[in-house]
Amino acid sequence: MSSNKPYVVKAFYDWIFDNGLTPYIVVDVNVYGVMVPMSYVNDGQIVLNVSPSAVGSIAMGEEIIELSARFGGKLENMSIPYGAVVAIYAKENGAGTSLAIEHPEPGTIAEEPLPSPVKMSSVKAVDSKTTTKTSAKQQSTQASKVKKPSLSVVKN
């Protein structure tokens, strides 16, 4: 049987938000798969404001919560497995629930394959413009006739 934690977290999130309060989650960063800005972690945990007004985007999937938010002006993309959510509560009154940490079993989290190496090619500039001393009037007349520099891709 699958974990009920995603359903509980989503239900509390909706309940807190529907009541006009601010949902916060507490995340244990020691759970495999957690990706958060580590400079904001205290005692192995990070507290995140997950209200729509605080995050750029939030997606509560089947296994993980993905969101983006600004920390010190820098946009951070975060990934939080539901097993790492220690608590979800309303900032204003503390209403919510605490949850047990669930460490994933080996092989249950799908790992993304490493991208294949990109083959690089060089770029060569082609410029047909020659430099000669001319007056400003001649330059403006010639400028309209001169080919613009272009780039061509040279494959190795």
Extents of the domains making up the chain: 5-98, 122-154
Q: Looking at the whole model, is its pTM more than 0.75?
A: no
Query: Tokens 């750029």, residue?
Result: 56
Q: Output the six-digit token pair for 144.
A: 């309209």
Closest to 34 in 3D by CA, of 70, 80, 73: 80
Residue 85 has pLDDT above 80, yes or no: yes
**Which of 27-36, 37-46, 110-119, 136-145 has the lowest average pLDDT?**
110-119
Other CB atoms within 10 A of residue 89 CB: 20
Tokens found for residue 108: 């249950």
Distance CA(4)–CA(131), nearest Å, equals: 74
Average pLDDT rounded to a whole number, residues 130-145:
55
pLDDT over 90, % of the chain:
60
Residue 90: both structure tokens together: 């309303």
How high does pLDDT run on average in the chain? 81
| pLDDT recorded at residue 100 | 94
145: buried, middle or exposed (CB in 10 Å: 19+, 13-18, 0-12)? exposed
Specify the CATH class of 5-98 in words.
mainly beta
